[in-house]
Amino acid sequence: MPEGNGTVALAFSGGLDTTVCVPLLKEEYGYDDVIGVTVDVGQPEYEFDEAEETAEALDVEHFVVDAKAEFADLCLRSVTANADYQGYPLGTALARPVIATAILDVAKEQGCSAVAHGCTGKGNDQLRFEAVWRDSDLEVIAPVRELGLTREWENEYAAEKDLPVEGGDGGRYSIDTNIWSRSIEGSELEDPGTIPDDDIYKWTENPDGKESELLEIEFEDGIAVAVDGEELNSVDLIQTVNETAGAHGIGRTDMMEDRMLGLKVRENYEHPAATVLLTAHEALEGLVLTQEERQFKAQVDQQWSHKAYQGLIDAPIVEALEGFIDSTQERVTGTVTVKLEGGHCRPVARDSEYAVYSEEAASFDSEDVTGGIEQKDATGVAKYHGFQSRLAKQVTAKVKANKENEAVADGGDPESQE
């Protein structure tokens, strides 16, 4: 462990874990001073108020960094890769590198000799934070993991030290919120057989009785830039779609997630805007990209998403993947209209000047098609289509029949010749 005699920058939320980390960094690690850094990626305002109040009560210098725009830009960029992990849009995974980088910047500006987080040794966030921090000369400290702390121990320690925490953890669920997603886990939700109450959701309403609504999303080079004809910056666009789609109950995920360390956990997520934008973007790609591009891009998207889930968005492989993604997005410009209804979002209209589509060629009512192609031209293709498979079956049947005939001629059992 480090000898101390310096200042450590702590990723600070004001919750139980980071609150107990403050005295522990001084008592167990010998640091002279602790500063708290909270990074704004779209959390509710009350979380900043609580963090500020807790920092003041602990006599900790508190820094708040506004990274909403940077994070929102990354979220919209993730849409170009149709990014998801095991079926849900990436949220926390995208936020952690942004948060870690902001904390590292403050730590360097304030002359800190170390950075610290309150993550446990069982989750993904420890790896995402440290992937950024370990690329610096600062010491990396993880008190909860390194000291093997449990929630029970932390509660007792907080009571003993009279630390400013509400009932230990301030609620029965572990909730992480940013502008792109809201995750809910813990308590009875850890039982996969438990059906969650609707009150765990804050962004998405019960859609019963809600009339359907159409929403038009405009893209430029794969990036969403406008909603219903109104151009918006990345933060406002995401917030607008979150509110509109959330009112229709869109964007709920209840899943068993495989974490990086191999643990399987039950997670509940809300992500209205992410669901709508990913749905619309994929629909536009379906209009403007060729079949081969779509097939290959699915593999590229999967690799991009996997690295993003790991928090490694700056890895060399990601830069290479984005070279292909960016080249395809040059034509992903146009509008998509989606229908919001009953907790679901589906594309109902698409338009782009780059559409790889000919209405005349596809129409059942026209023979005058692009390229001079006529229906009868497909006859030759139809004859060849499946030819090899048909031939293989014919050859197999012929060989089998010959063996059976030979066996009968020899007075044997045809089955024994198989």
Active site members: 17, 96, 125, 174
Residues 81, 354: Cα–Cα separation, whole Å: 19
CA torsion sign for 221, 224, 227, 233 is negative
- Nearest Cα residue to 156 out of 167, 145, 148, 146: 167
- Helices 291-309, 272-288: crossing angle, 10 deg rounding: 150
| Residue 345 near residue 276, CB atoms below 8 Å | yes
Output b/e per residue, 400-416; b: 16+ Cβ within 10 A.
eeeeeeebeeeeeeeee
- Distance from C-alpha of 393 to C-alpha of 414, rounded to nearest angstrom: 20
Measured in residues, the chain has a length of 418
Residues whose CB is less than 8 angstroms from the CB of residue 317 and which lie 6 or more positions away in sequence, other chains included: 303, 307
Instruction: Report yes or no: 76 and 111 within 8 Å, Cβ to Cβ.
Output: no
CA-closest candidate to residue 153, choices 116, 188, 115, 120:
120
Please list the helix, strand and coil fractions of the chain in percent, rounded to the nearest 5, in that order: 45, 20, 35
Q: If we measure between CA atoms, which residue out of 283, 149, 291 comes closest to residue 219?
A: 283
Q: Report the C-alpha gap between 6 and 18 in whole angstroms.
A: 19
Cβ atoms of 200 and 293 closer than 8 Å: no
In 153-168, which positions are buried (b, 16+ CB within 10 angstroms) versus exposed (e)? ebbebbeebebebeeb
**Alpha-carbon span 148 to 139, nearest angstrom:** 19
